[in-house]
Amino acid sequence: MLEIKNLSFRVEDENGETDILKNLSLTIADHKFVVITGPNGGGKTTLAKAVMGITAPTGGTILWNGTDITHMPVTERARLGVSYGFQQPPRFKGIKVRDLLELASGNEALSHEEGCQYLTRVGLCANDYIDREVDASLSGGELKRIEIATILARKTGLMIFDEPEAGIDLWSFAKLTDTFRRLQENRRSTLLIISHQERIIDLADEIVMISDGSVAQHGPKDEIFPKILANTVTGCTYMREGDVQ
């Protein structure tokens, strides 16, 4: 179980202090497929990075299976079964796709066949990519899919994907949606997927709407999704009706 309690993230710059996460609390039961959505800048990526340990929260606690991981380094969280796919994945010059998949799966003897299967699940033509370097020569969409493949290879207890659809073409997106559907059916891991895509949101058991650093809505898909479609749970406090001529 993932328990996030009163999480806050405050930053300071020349304009003063800003609260990016505001006492955010959220509990996710095991083996749930949860989609986090909400307006740009609401704090979704900040929350995901805090769970992975890339961003240090300024208050609150994060428990994973009862263990307080709030101040643990990324590597230790990874050992406890937490994985995160960046909204914008990093590149690794000198490392091949095959090496990344081997590292991720923890299987030094990962067969060509197995490596290729992970790539196929994200819509990549495996033989074309398995020996490519994870460097600047890969397009944004290729890189994104390779990173998703490495998370699939890790098979951790908690998988967090940050906008897996971003920059991915329609055909690969269909493949990726199938892969997520299978993960949802298998129920071996808890999945937290940050997404704005209707077809991914539609797979969710639960939807969390994050807006302005807090949880605006959290509940079963059937309850929250119609509200999102009817556009009644977002809303900008600055641009009111009548502001636009």
CA distance 11 to 49: 15
CA distance 66 to 184: 23
Q: Report, in Å, the least distance between residue 37 CB and ligand ATP.
A: 9
Is 45 an interacting residue with respect to ligand ATP (CB under 6 A)? yes
Q: Report, in Å, the least distance between residue 170 CB and ligand ATP.
A: 21
207 three-state secondary structure: strand
Is 141 or 157 the residue whose CB approaches ligand ATP more closely?
Answer: 141
* Residue 11 interacting partner from Mg ion, ligand ATP, none (CB closer than 5 to 8 Å by kind): ligand ATP
* Residue 53 interacting partner from ligand ATP, Mg ion, none (CB closer than 5 to 8 Å by kind): none
Is 129 or 161 the residue whose CB approaches ligand ATP more closely?
Answer: 161
Rounded (5°) CA angle 142-190-147: 15
Of 35-43, 105-113, 124-132, 150-158, the window that binds ligand ATP (rule: CB under 6 A) is: 35-43
Which residue type occupies 13? D
The pair of three-digit structure tokens given for residue 122, joined into one six-digit string = 């994200």
Q: Report, in Å, the least distance between residue 9 CB and ligand ATP.
A: 7
Is 20 an interacting residue with respect to ligand ATP (CB under 6 A)? yes
The pair of three-digit structure tokens given for residue 60, joined into one six-digit string = 């609150």
69-88 residues in contact with ligand ATP (CB under 6 A) are: 87
CA distance 142 to 140: 6
CA distance 129 to 33: 29
Helices within 68-197 (DSSP H only): 74-79, 97-105, 112-121, 126-129, 140-154, 170-186
* One residue of 37, 45, 177, 211 binding Mg ion per CB under 5 A: 45
Q: What torsion do the CA atoms of 223, 224, 229, 235 make, to the nearest 10 degrees? A: 140
Residue 2 burial (CB count, 10 A) = 22
Is 57 an interacting residue with respect to ligand ATP (CB under 6 A)? no
Q: How many residues are recorded in the chain?
A: 245
Q: Report, in Å, the least distance between residue 44 CB and ligand ATP.
A: 4
Is 37 or 105 the residue whose CB approaches Mg ion more closely?
Answer: 37
The pair of three-digit structure tokens given for residue 193, joined into one six-digit string = 């997927």
Is 11 an interacting residue with respect to ligand ATP (CB under 6 A)? yes
60-119 residues in contact with Mg ion (CB under 5 A) are: 87
Is 45 or 217 the residue whose CB approaches Mg ion more closely?
Answer: 45
> Which residues of the shown chain bind Mg ion in the complex (CB under 5 A)?
44-45, 87
> Which residues of the shown chain bind ligand ATP in the complex (CB under 6 A)?
11, 20, 40-46, 87
